Amino acid sequence: MRTDVLTMNPIHPSETAPLHAAAHDLALRPMRLAARAREIALSAAALAACGVALAQGKVNDLPGGPAVNQLDLHPPVTKIAEAQHWLHYVMLAICLFIFVAVFGVMFYSIIKHRKSVGHKAANFHESVGVEIAWTVVPFIIVIAMGAMATRTVVAMKDTSNADLTIKATGYQWKWGYDYLKGEGEGIAFLSTLDFAHRVMSDSGKPAGDDYLLKVDNPLVVPVDRKIRIVTTANDVIHAWMVPAFGVKQDAIPGFVRDTWFRAEKTGDFYGQCAELCGKEHAYMPIHVKVVSQADYSKWVEGKKKEMAAAADDPNKEWKLDELVARGEKVYNANCVACHRPDGKGAGPIKALDGSQIVLDDPAAQIRILLNGAANGAMPAWKQLSDTELAAVMTYTKNSWSNKTGKVIQPAQVVAARKQP
């Protein structure tokens, strides 16, 4: 035991412990401060790096699509969208006026007539005038609001006298367009998210102002023409929505709905499926390209030539390498979202790599692609041509570890289509 040199009294070790702790803390403090300084410096460097990354990956407003930090509605390009904007602002103003009036009177009454300043509660049972007022005034306001909205809603539903009728069919997860009536009648194609954007999403490296909005085949329509859109779906409920047109219409399997728009300016306009439709819902964009009448006529002519060239003779005997090359394009456009680039599938999505049906049962594979399977989890692909179906099946039989050397010819698909 130690002794105090002044009093010669013994010092118990417990009495010196706080002193030792304080001395130890003082000795460590410079090291702690240095470590804290290093943490601050590293944090500042990280923030600076993030700032540089954000500056390099800066996103700009997309004309016809979303804007950075957008708060208001999309700029309208149709009369219907303009009417919707006007209704939005008028209704907002009416609601704001009612809010200020009601709460203004309430808080004025609470503050000016409180008991602490000497006011006493009035004693009365009813006021016929007040009751009539608070019944009639809201009734008039609601009727006025309904009357203003009715004119726009009726106009939205008037799809008569259309210059062009197009059927939009929702698939998991793409859109199919069929030009039913008007210039371009007979044109049909699928519109799918651009494969490069799928790759960017999977890698977590978004880029471009049109990220997840670019498609391989946009819907093309002429400017200043009434376009009727007939919506339906092949599997689950989807919704065709383009905010700049003021259009949103559900696409329901087994039912037909319709809407319309008349774009007053040329350009590219974007939308998305607006009904939760499964795991790839975010990858179902809509791109409408509005062009002049002359450019539209040129597009129709070129598209019909393209379709004629793609309408292969189903009796043609294709070589293995030809079908594999074409099948790879079909697979990337239509199948890769679920079955993945490596053919391994995921979760309930069955793998194609090593699948016994793909390897050894061509009849079952053709039947599944034509009719679907698993209660719609695997959709039917009848909308693809015989050659495209044969090509994509041949591709799956000769890709990844499936090196079978087997070929499915379009004639086999033709025969399968004829079966009940």
What tens digit of pLDDT does each residue of 81-122 get?
999 999 999 999 999 999 999 999 999 988 988 888 888 877
Quote the pLDDT of residue 3: 47
Tell me what the mean pLDDT of segment 180-201 comes to.
92
pTM for the model: 0.71
Q: Give the number of other CB atoms < 10 A from CB of residue 153.
A: 14
Cis before 400? omega within 30: no
Instruction: Report the Cα–Cα distance between both ends of the chain, in Å, rounded.
Output: 103
Tell me what the mean pLDDT of segment 199-216 comes to.
91
d(CA 204, CA 191): 23
Quote the pLDDT of residue 51: 43
d(CA 12, CA 75): 82
Quote the pLDDT of residue 55: 43
Place of tokens 């093309």: 220
Quote the pLDDT of residue 82: 96
Q: For residue 19, is pLDDT > 80?
A: no
Q: For residue 4, is pLDDT > 60?
A: no
H/E stretch holding 257 reads: strand 257-261
Residue 348 DSSP SS3:
coil
pLDDT band at 46 (very low <50, low <70, confident <90, very high): very low
Q: For residue 45, is pLDDT > 50?
A: no
Quote the pLDDT of residue 48: 44
Quote the pLDDT of residue 6: 39
What tens digit of pLDDT does each residue of 155-188 get?
999 999 999 999 999 998 899 999 999 999 999 9
Question: Mean pLDDT of all residues in the chain?
Answer: 85
DSSP assignment, residue 183? T
Q: Which of 35-44, 171-180, 344-353, 393-402 has the weakest average pLDDT?
A: 35-44
Quote the pLDDT of residue 26: 46
What stretches of 270-318 show up as alpha helix (H) in DSSP? 293-310
Share of the chain above pLDDT 90, in %: 60
Which of the pair, 125 or 380, is modelled with greater confidence? 380
What are 98's strand-pairing partners?
none
